[in-house]
Amino acid sequence: MKKTVKYLAVAIIGIVLFSTSCEKKEEQEEYNQVSLDGTSSEDDEMMTRDEEILLGSPCNYDLTQLLAPCAVVTETSASFPKTITIDYGTGCTNSNGVTKKGKVIVYMTNPLNVEGAVRQISFDGFYVNSTQITGTKNLENTGFNSAGNALISVDADLTFTNGNGTRTRSSDHVREWIGHATCERTDDEFLITGSGSVTRNSGTARSYSITSAIHIKNSCRYPVAGEIDFGTTSKRGCIINYGSGECDEFAQLTAKRKNKVFTINLATRTIE
């Protein structure tokens, strides 16, 4: 009888340990997925930034150098309104090591730094590295704030497909464009505000709101500051914080329910 009780106790302990291990693994996978969902809002927003801003600009940019050496740029007219197509063919790698292929198609009424200018963006077989992007994105210069910065409304419904599955994002953002008045690209910075939602291929949808403007600098691959509330209540979801101005590949994720704090590697979009 004692041996039976002993074996039973060992079995129960084993089950508890196994169950705890599984829960931790599931929890880690969930946080990794939340990390992917949460950090997608600003990264997806800026994925075609160069195409959106450089095309149709009055500045005499060498687009093949700024976009990618093998990019082919064609336009339907020398004057506005017009449509410009960037064809990356079977693959072009830019100076940041990002490979794009397929076409980005941009209809525009004026240069984007002109108040009232509208841009409508669509894609044809377009990939960024191994991720295919489909859907539409609409931009409009709605005017200038008291600091003289252009305010660009960005409405997007985009689908991203890669080896990890399919993710759909709908967003309603405002992009404050600092440095729009010069042709010097190094002084361009962006402050992004707004809200949206991300839906996984499983059908799970998560809404988000940007509670502190996401700060993007041309000199840094990753956001340098800002905060996103990813979830619908004070007890569900997470807070993602990009820091206070440093250029690095890390952000902080705080799980609301357990108040746990994790470090996100933005290069992989996973929890470290």
* Per-residue pLDDT reduced to its tens digit, 70-124: 899 999 999 999 999 999 999 999 887 889 999 999 999 999 999 999 999 999 9
Task: Output the CA angle 158-160-165, nearest 5 degrees.
Answer: 140
For the whole model, what pTM was predicted? 0.84
Q: Mean pLDDT in the chain?
A: 84
Structure confidence at residue 21 (pLDDT): 39
Structure confidence at residue 33 (pLDDT): 67
- What are the tens digits of pLDDT across the range 2-36? 555 555 555 555 544 443 333 444 456 666 666 66
- What are the tens digits of pLDDT across the range 181-193? 999 888 899 999 9
| DSSP secondary structure string for all residues of 191-210 | EEEEEEEEEETTS-EEEEEE
Percentage of residues in the chain with pLDDT exceeding 90? Answer: 49
